[in-house]
Amino acid sequence: MIDLQVGPERVLVMAVQTDQYSPEQFQVILDEMTSLTETAGGQVIEVVTQKLPKLDGRTAVGSGKLEEIAALVEAREIDLVISLNALTPSMNRQLEASLKVQVIDRVQLILDIFAMRARSREGKLQVALAQYNYLLPRLYGQGKHLSRQGGGIGTRGPGETKLESDRRHIRSVIHHVKEELADIAAHRERTRSRRAQGGHWQVGLVGYTNAGKSTLLTQLTQSETYVQDQLFATLDPLTRRMPLKGEDRFTLTDTVGFIEELPTELIHAFKSTLEEIGGMDLLLHVVDASDPAQTLHEQTVLRIIKELGYGHLPVLTVYNKIDCLAPDQSVQATAFPSIAISAYEPSHIDRLKQEIWKLLMADADWVDQRIPAHEAYKVAGMRQELLVTKFDYDENTGDYHLQGYRRRQQDREEETH
């Protein structure tokens, strides 16, 4: 079959504001649906909302609203309906039977974007695992949509053949993917431990998707990485050396962007990637200071970090994109310690580096030690262990005098494990 569709898929977004959403939260997620849809290659033609205490058990929306959506699907030549609310497999089937077009929900939309963005072997495996777990209970009736050779939103990933296989085969694939991910996670843990044991301070970038983390990674490390004004532009954790004050004992790791109501399937699948956060000495929480939903985004990221078990880690909040603020706007800083910057302003990057240094050294152990001449063999080891700020040889006593900082690792590793 040849897909003759030209241009982006025409999408209708349906959303029910249940009692679990505040008006502000609902509006933010609803607005976000347009960006998510565009990132996946679709165009939002219509948005239909309804306010209900809870989702209709059969079709999520009420019967009258369903008729309204069906009429719009036909009149506006809609190719795809995306539900903001998570749909059960039975809801999905009922909606597709009523609307005569493919229906997916926000979870599947995000999984689809992750499938587009994954580049490394680990990233692709993690996305595949999340997709298999999500689609396993939804195998019934999927074949007709997945057989479109032209693909489309909600069809990327595992593919037609595997999804039409029996559940036993799918579970077997999930098992093998988990085993391979476990091997990769073990390798990642060994690498992380070597960095820590080598006296490297490890700094992690966290934040809401599209807050500017990858841009900051590039500017702080002077390295090339994928920087794009898109949701979930970076999936795979990238670790680069970040020289501070001429010292190279620092690394900076970019992580996947968070999002409100991050699908559970993704949190489980990306467990090893998210565990990178746990080994950090400092988290840079990057916030888009120009986003109207700044406060909600901040709260979302902090809540997820806490839920992952990393709420004890030191955090420096970086209010980014101040160059995008309107002339009459000012930075609404709600966290401490914090710094307001534009990632494209070199002087701001210098200030940020100074703040990172100050916070890391404040949490390090200060060492002031004299080594007698007959124990001179210890000097080399000390210089490897310490970030040396002073090194003298006293000709009168024959002592070596070292001063510097030692990464405080024992307490942190006990808390993380």
Query: 411 a known binding residue?
Result: no
* Residue type for position 200: H
Query: 161 a known binding residue?
Result: no
Assigned token pair, 19? 């009692």
Query: 97 a known binding residue?
Result: no
* Residue type for position 288: D
Rounded-to-integer distance, Cα 310 and Cα 295, Å? 20
Rounded-to-integer distance, Cα 103 and Cα 307, Å? 31
* Residue type for position 295: T
Query: 305 a known binding residue?
Result: no
Query: 207 a known binding residue?
Result: yes
Query: 213 a known binding residue?
Result: yes
Query: 322 a known binding residue?
Result: yes
Cβ(6)–Cβ(55) below 8 Å: no
Alpha helices in 87-164 (DSSP H): 89-99, 106-117, 121-135, 143-146, 160-163
- The single residue listed with the structure tokens 């079709």 is 59
Query: 105 a known binding residue?
Result: no
Query: 210 a known binding residue?
Result: yes
Query: 235 a known binding residue?
Result: yes
Alpha helices in 292-371 (DSSP H): 294-307, 346-362
Query: 157 a known binding residue?
Result: no
Q: How far, CA to CA in Å, does 101 sit from each of 244, 297, 416?
A: 55, 33, 47
Query: 133 a known binding residue?
Result: no
Query: 253 a known binding residue?
Result: no
What does DSSP say about strands 250-254 and 102-105: parallel, antiparallel, or unpaired? unpaired
Cβ(242)–Cβ(250) below 8 Å: yes
Query: 215 a known binding residue?
Result: no
Query: 214 a known binding residue?
Result: yes
Query: 320 a known binding residue?
Result: yes
Query: 209 a known binding residue?
Result: yes
Query: 21 a known binding residue?
Result: no
Q: Is 321 left (phi over 0), alpha (psi -120 to 50) or beta?
A: left
Cβ(25)–Cβ(94) below 8 Å: no
Query: 343 a known binding residue?
Result: yes
Query: 321 a known binding residue?
Result: yes
Rounded-to-integer distance, Cα 146 and Cα 156, Å? 8
Residue positions forming the annotated binding site for GTP: 207-214, 232-236, 254-257, 320-323, 342-344
Residue positions forming the annotated binding site for Mg(2+): 214, 234
Residue positions forming the annotated binding site: 207-214, 232-236, 254-257, 320-323, 342-344
